[in-house]
Chain A
Amino acid sequence: MITNTRRPKFLNLFKIHLPVTGVTSFAHRVSGALLFVSLPFWVYLFSLSLHNEASFKLALGYLTSPWTRLVLLILLWSILHHLFAGIRFLLLDIHLGHSLKSARRSAWLVNFTGAILFVVLALWWLL
C-alpha cells in the first residue's frame, strides 16, 4: 500500500486547544454535519407538504410538535452559524480579513452574531 505522508493527519479532538478562529471553523463543521443529518427529514417534510391538504397539515403538525422543537432549535443555530462562518470563509477566499487581528475579530463576530440571532429568533418563535 502506498503511503503519502502529506495527506491530512488523523486528528485527536481531545488534545487540541483551539483559538477563536478554530472554534468558528470547528463549529462550521459540526453545524454542517448536523445539517447533513437533517436532510432526509427535510425532504420528507417537503414532500408531505406538497402532496395534499391532509399531508400538508401533517407536515405542519410535525414542525410544531414539542418533540421536534429541540431538533429545530439545534438546526436553527446550525444554519445561522454555518451561513455566517461560510460568508467569512468566502471573504477570506478573496483575501479580505487575512491579518491575524482581523481574522480573530471576524471569527468572534461570526460566533457572536450566530449566537445572538439564534437567541432572538428562538425567543420570537417560542414566546
Chain B
Amino acid sequence: MSWRAQGLRTWLLQRLTAIYMALYLLLALLVLYSHPVTGFTAWHDLFHQPVINIATIFMFASIFYHAWVGVRDILVDYVQPQPLRFMILTLVSILLLALMLWVVFLMFGVLQG
C-alpha cells in the first residue's frame, strides 16, 4: 500500500498538526497567564528564547499545512471545474509558502536581535 498515494500521509499530518496547535495554544495561554506581557521588550524577549522561537516556527508551519489540507478538501467538494480548482490551489499554495517564508525570516531575525 502506498502511504502517500492513498492520502494517508496527509490524513495523519492533518491530525498531528491539529494536536500540535492545540498543545501550543494551551501552553501559550498558560505562559501568557503566568507571565503577563508588559510591553514590546517582554514580548520580544519571549520569542527571543530559542525554544519558544522554534516552537513558534513549527506552530506556523502546522497552521499553514493544516490550512492547506483544509482548503484542498473544501475546493475538491465545491469547485467543480478542474482548471479553476487548479488555479485556486496554486494561488493558495503560493500564499501559504510566502507566509511561511515571512514567518521564518521574522523568527530568525528575532532570534538574533
Contacts and interface: CB of A to CB of B under 8 A. Distances in A.
B40 A56 contact: yes
Nearest to B99: A43
A13 B71 CA distance: 17
Chain B: interface size category: 20 to 34
B77 A32 contact: no
Interface of B: 15, 18-19, 22, 25, 39-40, 43-44, 47, 60, 63-64, 67, 70-71, 73-74, 76-78, 80, 95-96, 99, 102-103, 106, 109-110
Given A7-B76, A53-B39, 14 more contacts: A10-B78, A11-B77, A29-B73, A32-B70, A33-B71, A36-B71, A39-B96, A43-B103, A46-B103, A49-B40, A50-B109, A50-B110, A57-B40, A90-B15
21 contacts: A8-B76, A10-B78, A32-B67, A32-B74, A33-B70, A35-B67, A39-B63, A40-B99, A43-B99, A43-B103, A46-B106, A50-B47, A50-B109, A50-B110, A53-B39, A56-B40, A56-B43, A86-B22, A90-B15, A90-B19, A93-B15
